[in-house]
Amino acid sequence: MKWVVDALENLRKKRPLVQNITNFVVMNTTANALLAVGASPVMAHAVDELEDMLKLADALVVNIGTLDEHWIRSMEEAVRVAASMGKPVVLDPVGAGATRLRTKTALRLLEAGRISVLRGNFGEVSALLGGHGVTRGVDSTVYDGERARELAERASREFGTAVAVTGPVDYVSDSRETYAVENGHPMLGRVTGTGCIATALIGAFLAVETPLKAAVGALAVFGIAAEKAFEEAPYPGSFHTKLYDWLYKIDSSILERYVRVRRL
């Protein structure tokens, strides 16, 4: 799809500043991924600097992976400020369904301001809808391919935002259009932080595309990078390193050859 190619090219021309309020586990990982793809990351969560930082930022990424009362306050305020400034926001409800705190926090963030994209695995998004998806830690223990599309469409209607349900096939919907992104590799599940990378990349693409297309484009680019990384490094440690290399190396010719995106 040409617009996926155009989105990556526009991202690299713009070099958007992406503010991340994310978890301790993946700060370095997601910062490196954003740099590799052509964006500029900033990891800032202090409440006193949110307004100043968001004036500069092109998009906001909120990831609830490591929560406490201070981070929750910062996330809620950041979402409100971003909404007042018209800045796009992507929310990653890490581990929603595993604890009441995580589920409650994610739902409060969805209500605090205008979330552009909600990106979660099957269990997390199902939990936010009050379903019975089982979440263990931050990993989805259940993926139902036939229901994943329905889940994305239903969550999009419920929360009034574009929703990406990621798994073996990623389904992205804004309730009007739905896409299936078939790029990716199972090795992504053997390395920590890959879902968080996907969310951060969506944040970068939000600076140059609509929410639906930003999610589709980011997931396609990341999926192809994973496929090419595995060809060169079929073990978790080296695979992780190669992900950065391929986020840097991926270009229009590679995208045009390998992208597997279907409009449903």
- Binding site feature residues for ATP: 119, 166
**Coil, helix or strand at residue 44:** coil
Write down the pTM of the prediction.
Answer: 0.94
Kind and range of the H or E run holding 139: strand 139-140
Tally: H helices and E strands in the chain = 11, 11
Summarize pLDDT for 118-157 with one digit per residue, the tens.
Answer: 999 999 999 999 843 444 444 445 667 778 999 999 999 9
Residue of 74, 68, 130 lying closest to 97 (CA atoms): 130
Residue range 2-263 forms a domain whose CATH class is alpha beta
Which amino acid is residue 30, in one-letter code? T
Summarize pLDDT for 183-241 with one digit per residue, the tens.
Answer: 999 999 999 999 999 999 999 999 999 999 999 999 999 999 999 999 999 999 999 99
Q: Which residues pair with 118 in a beta bridge?
A: 91, 163
Task: Return the pLDDT at 133.
Answer: 43
Task: Return the pLDDT at 142.
Answer: 64
* DSSP classification of residue 188: G
The torsion angles phi and psi of 88, rounded to 5 degrees, stand at -70, 150
- Binding site feature residues: 43, 119, 166, 193
- Binding site feature residues for substrate: 43, 193
With a cut of 60, say whether residue 38 has pLDDT above it. yes
Kind and range of the H or E run holding 201: helix 194-206
Rg of the chain on CA atoms, in Å: 16
Q: Which residues of 218-250 are buried (b: 16+ CB within 10 A; e: fewer)?
A: bbbbbbbbbbbbbeebeeeeebbebbbebbeeb
